Structure 1
Amino acid sequence: MSQNKTSKYFKYAIGEIILVVIGILIALQINTWNQQRIENKQELELLKALKDEFEYNLSEVDATIAVNKKTTKSCLTLTKLIRADSLNKMPEYVDSLLLNIGDFTSFDARTGVSGEIVNSGKLNILKNKNIRAQLGNWLTLIADCEEDILFRSDNYTMNLMPFLMKRFPLSNGELTKNLAFDKMNYLETYQEKSPFRINISEDDLMEFENQIWHHKHNHDYVVINERNIRDFIMATIKMIEEELKSS
């Protein structure tokens, strides 16, 4: 009888242990499911935030490309007028072209969401390795473009502007100035033309052509960077949309 009781108690203890183990395994599985559900929710929120950010950047880079396209076109037109020695024949047109070549802009990317994901350790929440790699490359791409932007600006300020200021009534550009970000029309401009005229000699023409070419040359690097950035943004948005569809 004693042996039977011991056997029953042993079986009972084994059963209790098995139940406890099963309970622990179930609890762990539930915890895993909950953790996975939380991570899936976080990933979905990050993907949606990234999509919004990159779509905003797409609209911004498109606007920048449009403005800088006008700058490029004005450089080409000025070069034609220089070579035809026609600057004095259409001074108002030259005024507008000189305004346009200085009206270049640069793409200012919004990187709040992407920067936080990369720098705060949230990158692993994103399961798609291609999107993770894309975000790392995105921040590097933006940083690499800054040098060309600064070089263009410095050359325009230190080389082209001093040349123009001695030979052209640049204030006439005020008559046609229109700042895209001036949504409420706060801008106040000159209402009368300058009394001064274009004062450029034949000897200055080659230097003027070279100055315009150099400005366009520096500007070209920025423009190409912007086109590449646009392609990168489009590819990133496509990746995110495909990931959202599969979520």
Structure 2
Amino acid sequence: MIKFFRKIRQKLLSENKFSKYLIYAIGEIVLVVIGILIALQINNWNESRKQSTAEKEFITSLKNDLKQDRIFIESVIELNEPRIEAYKILNSDLHNLYNNDRKSLDSIFKIYFRSQRTFYPISGSYESAVSGNQITVFKDKVLLQKVVKLYNSTYDRLIDNGQILDERWAFLSKKYSYERRTGKFREMTSEQLTEFLDDVYHHFKQLEWYLKQLRLAVTEIDKIITENQS
């Protein structure tokens, strides 16, 4: 093709047809520019297609992660919810149960002092998109705002509160290791029972707040999972 254009150009010059050559040269330049623009457009289309594919793959992977997070959160809530009722009974009737119904008291104690579990999210898909700087060019800004809020605010707050809850749980577990090991209360004075309630109260209040935040996280997760679903 290049040789073909060169021959035409040389023929026009040899025949001293400068005006026609000039028109031809301009036309050749226009064709080159059009070719460049077409190539750029094809390249842009390819990049846009790759970006769209990457965004779809990210959203699919992210939603799969969040579905697993939701299952984990629900299991944590289910495990900890009985503690709420157990604490209410301990708080309102500990002294009476201790003096008159140790068997029921020991059963309630076992419910509150069962193993604790806190939530840590699956963040592989999100962190990969952030570290690769892909997330900044994704087009679904509404969804991305929800995702960023979930991971950078809600999840961070949950992790911090979970760590505090674990610390308070570790304190309780160590201080009342005899009760946990035997499943029975040791002999305690009225003052020691009150101290026990105070210790449990600090853990309970943190747990209550933590469960509230977990439920809010589930609400946010559901909004992201159902986004753009037909």
TM range (shorter): 0.7 to 0.9
Output one character per residue of 1:43-71: Cα deviation in whole Å (capped at 9) or x when no partner: 11111111111111111111111111122
> Is the 2:120–2:159 contact (alpha carbons within 8 Å) kept by the matching residues of 1?
no
Match of residue 140 from structure 2: 128
Match of residue 34 from structure 1: 46
Match of residue 98 from structure 2: 87
Match of residue 216 from structure 1: 204
**Map 1:201-212 → 2, pairs under 5 A:** 201-212=189-200
**Map 1:1-247 → 2, pairs under 5 A:** 5-83=17-95, 85-87=96-98, 89-102=100-113, 103-140=115-152, 141-158=154-171, 160-161=172-173, 163-165=175-177, 168=179, 170-173=180-183, 198-239=186-227, 242=228
- Runs of 5+ unmatched residues, structure 1: 174-195
Output one character per residue of 1:65-98: Cα deviation in whole Å (capped at 9) or x when no partner: 1111122222122223315x11354444433332
Deviation at 1:152, TM superposition (A): 2.4
Instruction: Give, in whole Å, the separation in 2 of the partners of 1:50 and 1:137.
Output: 14
> Is the 1:156–1:215 contact (alpha carbons within 8 Å) kept by the matching residues of 2?
yes
> Is the 1:54–1:237 contact (alpha carbons within 8 Å) kept by the matching residues of 2?
yes
What is the TM-score of this pair, normalised by structure 2? Answer: 0.81
Instruction: Give, in whole Å, the separation in 2 of the partners of 1:64 and 1:134.
Output: 23
What is the TM-score of this pair, normalised by structure 1? Answer: 0.76
Higher Rg of the two aligned structures = 2
| Equivalent residue pairs, number | 216
Instruction: Give, in whole Å, the separation in 2 of the partners of 1:149 and 1:29.
Output: 51
> Is the 1:118–1:135 contact (alpha carbons within 8 Å) kept by the matching residues of 2?
no
The AA in structure 1 aligned to 2:147 is L
| Poorly superposed stretches of 4+, deviation over 4 Å | 1-4
Instruction: Give, in whole Å, the separation in 2 of the partners of 1:36 and 1:17.
Output: 28
Instruction: Give, in whole Å, the separation in 1 of the partners of 2:15 and 2:174.
Output: 108
Provide the alpha-carbon RMSD of the alignment: 2.6
Instruction: Give, in whole Å, the separation in 2 of the partners of 1:234 and 1:91.
Output: 44
Bigger proportion of residues as helix: 2
- Runs of 5+ unmatched residues, structure 2: 1-11
Instruction: Give, in whole Å, the separation in 1 of the partners of 2:225 and 2:47.
Output: 27
Instruction: Give, in whole Å, the separation in 2 of the partners of 1:18 and 1:217.
Output: 75
| Cα 1:56/1:165, change in 2 over 3 Å | closer
Q: Report SS of the residue matched to 2:116.
A: coil
| Cα 1:62/1:11, change in 2 over 3 Å | same
> Is the 1:74–1:101 contact (alpha carbons within 8 Å) kept by the matching residues of 2?
yes
| Cα 1:90/1:133, change in 2 over 3 Å | same
The AA in structure 1 aligned to 2:162 is I
Instruction: Give, in whole Å, the separation in 2 of the partners of 1:162 and 1:17.
Output: 83
Q: Report SS of the residue matched to 1:69.
A: helix
> Is the 1:115–1:139 contact (alpha carbons within 8 Å) kept by the matching residues of 2?
no
| Cα 1:212/1:197, change in 2 over 3 Å | closer
> Is the 2:165–2:207 contact (alpha carbons within 8 Å) kept by the matching residues of 1?
yes
